[in-house]
Chain A
Amino acid sequence: MAVKIRVYATLREALGWSSLDVNIEGETTVGNLLSNIKDLWAQIQERGLDFYTILINGHNIRLIKELDTVVRDNDVIDIFPPAAGG
């Protein structure tokens, strides 16, 4: 199945890419999917999961099943560090 991952702001800057199309066999979870993208997972681990907003099709995974949220074909995952300053 095909999944799109998009990253923004400082995460985009650190990774050097803004969008990634991933093809995987069978159903998986957000945690499994992200942990297999080494550079992305390293960045998330470095700053901590709490630092990032992770949306799957516009829904925050924290309000679904966190990293156990199931990923399906054609899902879009958006990850960004919300900016707090004002």
Chain B
Amino acid sequence: MSLTPLELERYDRQIRLFGIEGQVRLKKSKVLIAGIGGLGCPAALYLVAAGIGEVIIVDSETVELSNLNRQILHWTSDIGRPKVDSAVEKLRILNPDVRIVGIKRVIDEELLESLVPNVDIVIDGLDSWKIRFILNRICVRYKKPLIHAGIHGMYGQLLVVIPGITPCLQCIIPREPPEIKPFPVLGATPGILAMMQVVEAIKLITKIGEPAINKIIVYDGYTMTFREVPVNRNPNCPVCSLKQ
């Protein structure tokens, strides 16, 4: 696989970072974005802009007015439309070179079983622990890197899961914590966490830098601090147990 003259021009500034080889790696890659909301929208924009070969986005919801402070691919005129349609339309305009697949379906185990084995990396844009745990389990089963983020108000956390190497989500959060819905959120909070997800995804694909593994990064917008919590694989993890 090679790059066209237009691709060489479009990606010039990042080819200066990781070379044509890195850009070709991006072009060959497939990324699944589970949920096209506060995290998924900015993550999709930057992944598509970066020239990922194929981006698959999944979401079952329609755009609501209260989404618009943070779900930046959805605009006022999109209220009532499926989020997937709203996102795919704009992403295709942003970068026609990227194959963008939109799937308007409830995210469940059956759907994830059909999608996860065929992608290189999964971006967690979900807002429920129950589905996150299913996603984590399927990513571990198929050994696909999962880039988790969660947000609340002015806070968020990032965890990069590389199955077999790092702790999985349930090593750290074994049981579903109680959820607060609707949760408060400043729009920029998922923007920050989504950018961190994209940086980690691109690093993994292009093989530059060091992945942010074996730690949770906790973002605190009130103090504008990023603190690292070291985490370890848990031999008793219900999902990726070393004893299995």
Contact = CB atoms under 8 A, between A and B. Distances in A.
Interface of A: 6, 8-10, 12-13, 18, 48, 50-53, 55, 57-60, 62-64, 76, 78, 80-86
Contact of B150 (A51, A76, A78, A83): A83
24 contacts: A6-B227, A8-B218, A9-B152, A9-B220, A10-B152, A50-B175, A51-B178, A53-B172, A55-B229, A58-B214, A58-B232, A62-B174, A62-B175, A63-B171, A63-B236, A80-B218, A83-B152, A84-B127, A84-B129, A84-B177, A85-B190, A86-B37, A86-B39, A86-B40
B5 to A, nearest CB: 38
Contact of B232 (A9, A57, A83): A57
A55 B129 CA distance: 18
Given A9-B155, A48-B178, A85 B127 contact: yes
A9 B60 CA distance: 30
A46 B179 CA distance: 15
A85 B150 contact: yes
A25 B187 CA distance: 47
A59 B232 contact: yes
B151 to A, nearest CB: 5
Interface centre among A18, A78, A84 (most CB of B within 10 A): A84
B200 interface: no
B218 A81 contact: no
B93 interface: no
A18 B200 CA distance: 27
B31 interface: no
Given A10-B155, A50-B178, A55-B229, A84 B128 contact: yes
A64 B171 CA distance: 11
A78 B77 CA distance: 44
Interface in B138-171: 149-153, 155-157, 167, 171
Closest 7 CB pairs of A and B: A83-B152, A86-B127, A58-B232, A83-B150, A9-B155, A63-B236, A85-B183
A76 B124 CA distance: 28
B220 A85 contact: no
A58 B185 CA distance: 28
Contact of A80 (B35, B39, B157, B183): B157
Contacts of A59: 232, 234
A84 B183 contact: yes
B231 interface: yes
B152 A84 contact: yes
B180 interface: yes
B229 A84 contact: no
Contacts of B220: 8-9, 12
Interface string B54-87: 0000000000000000000000000000000000
B237 interface: yes
A35 B110 CA distance: 43
Contacts of B152: 9-10, 81, 83-85
